[in-house]
């Protein structure tokens, strides 16, 4: 169990936008895949930004991406749709965002990619009073048969009881992407979060202090021993994706990610 350990794209190569901890690695995406093979990392979660969305190799040449991944024995079964957070489809009628998502869903069906993670945080936060719009939008997407085999998973910034309530309005074509670091940031009680874990199908691993920035695993407030013990108990079998701290020093990026990878593997082994 807990064998599907991978990394968020951009965790093995230097930041290309120094002010952002996460963005698509335009210059080094092929190199990162080769590095993942070198360090025996089996899974990568792709990330897509709004800017230059149509130029992203996954959108422009999906079969080429598939070929490169297969050559390096890397699996791609989850994508983070940051473009949807950056320009939410329900705000000021962002028609382009809707077109982008449908195009991405078609590619996921072509490549048998299981999950698209939609971050409902920051610009797209449910806290902004968009709950009804969000539910209606995604129910319509399902009704129009755009999902097919791909599931949409939401990363949300709501308290546990409200997460349970929100996902209850949507059927099993939708689920939750759980983020360990974000839960620590908000100071949520993990015992309360367990109530919606039957809908958790993808997990982002990171560490944060309450109200603070992302830290190296083990340096924040996440109790990883307790968390891994629970995942083993419920026989969780889906992705654990490292969305961990990224140093600005280019020479330390790969080292930092491998250190975090070893931390989580050691924690699993000790259980």
Q: For every residue of 118-173, which 3-state class applies, written as one string?
A: EEECHHHCHHHCCHHHHHHHHHHHHHCCCCCCCEEEEEECCCHHHHHHHHCCCCCC
- Exposure string of 154-188, with b = 16+ CB inside 10 Å and e = fewer, is bbbbbebeebbebbeebeeebbbbbbbbbbbbeeb
Digit-by-digit pLDDT tens for the chain (271 residues) are 688 999 999 999 998 887 788 889 999 999 999 999 999 999 999 999 999 999 999 999 999 999 999 999 999 999 999 999 999 887 765 789 999 999 999 999 999 999 999 999 888 888 877 889 899 999 999 998 889 889 999 999 999 999 999 999 999 999 999 999 999 999 999 999 999 999 999 999 999 999 999 999 999 999 999 999 999 999 999 999 999 999 988 889 999 999 999 999 999 988 6
Q: Which of 86, 213, 100 is nearest to 146 (CA)?
A: 100
Coil, strand, or helix at residue 196? helix
For residue 112, the model assigns a pLDDT of 96
- Quick check: 242 and 205 in contact, CB under 8 A? yes
Q: Residue 261's domain spans which residues?
A: 5-270
For residue 20, the model assigns a pLDDT of 82
Coil, strand, or helix at residue 39? coil
Which residues, 6 or more positions from 106, have their beta carbon under 8 angstroms from its beta carbon?
none
- Quick check: 222 and 184 in contact, CB under 8 A? yes
Question: In this structure, what CATH number is given to the domain that contains residue 211?
Answer: 3.20.20.150
Output the six-digit token pair for 195: 């109530």
Element (H, E) at 110: helix 95-111
The total number of structural domains in the chain stands at: 1
Output the six-digit token pair for 165: 């309530």
Model-level pTM?
0.96
DSSP secondary structure letter of residue 75: B
Coil, strand, or helix at residue 115? strand
**Cα end-to-end distance, the chain, whole Å:** 11
Q: Which of 203, 127, 142 is nearest to 172 (CA)?
A: 142
For residue 193, the model assigns a pLDDT of 97
Q: Which residue has the tokens 């002010």?
A: 19
Find how far residue 113's CA is from the centre of its chain.
13
Output the six-digit token pair for 226: 């307790």
Element (H, E) at 44: strand 43-47
- Quick check: 86 and 55 in contact, CB under 8 A? no
Output the six-digit token pair for 69: 């991944």
- Quick check: 153 and 170 in contact, CB under 8 A? no
């Amino acid at each position: 169990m807990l064998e599907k350990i991978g990394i968020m794209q951009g965790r093995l190569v230097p930041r290309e936008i120094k002010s952002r901890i996460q963005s698509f690695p335009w210059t080094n995406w092929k190199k990162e895949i080769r590095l993942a093979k070198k360090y025996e990392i089996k899974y990568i979660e792709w990330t897509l930004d709004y800017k230059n969305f149509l130029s992203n190799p996954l959108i422009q040449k999906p079969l080429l991406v598939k070929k490169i991944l297969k050559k390096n024995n890397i699996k791609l079964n989850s994508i983070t749709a940051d473009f949807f957070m950056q320009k939410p489809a329900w705000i000021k009628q962002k028609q382009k965002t809707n077109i982008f998502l449908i195009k991405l869903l078609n590619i996921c069906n072509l490549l048998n990619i299981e999950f698209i993670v939609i971050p409902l945080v920051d610009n797209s936060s449910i806290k902004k009073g968009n709950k009804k719009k969000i539910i209606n939008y995604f129910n319509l997407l399902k009704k129009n048969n755009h999902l097919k085999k791909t599931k949409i998973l939401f990363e949300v910034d709501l308290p546990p009881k409200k997460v349970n309530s929100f996902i209850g309005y949507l059927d099993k074509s939708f689920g939750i992407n759980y983020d360990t670091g974000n839960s620590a940031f908000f100071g949520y009680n993990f015992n309360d979060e367990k109530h919606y874990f039957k809908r958790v199908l993808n997990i982002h691993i990171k560490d944060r202090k309450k109200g603070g920035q992302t830290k190296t695993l083990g340096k924040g407030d996440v109790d990883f021993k307790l968390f891994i013990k629970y995942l083993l108990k419920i026989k969780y079998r889906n992705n654990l994706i490292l969305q961990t701290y990224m140093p600005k020093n280019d020479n330390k990026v790969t080292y930092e990610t491998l250190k975090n990878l070893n931390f989580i593997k050691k924690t699993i082994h000790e259980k």
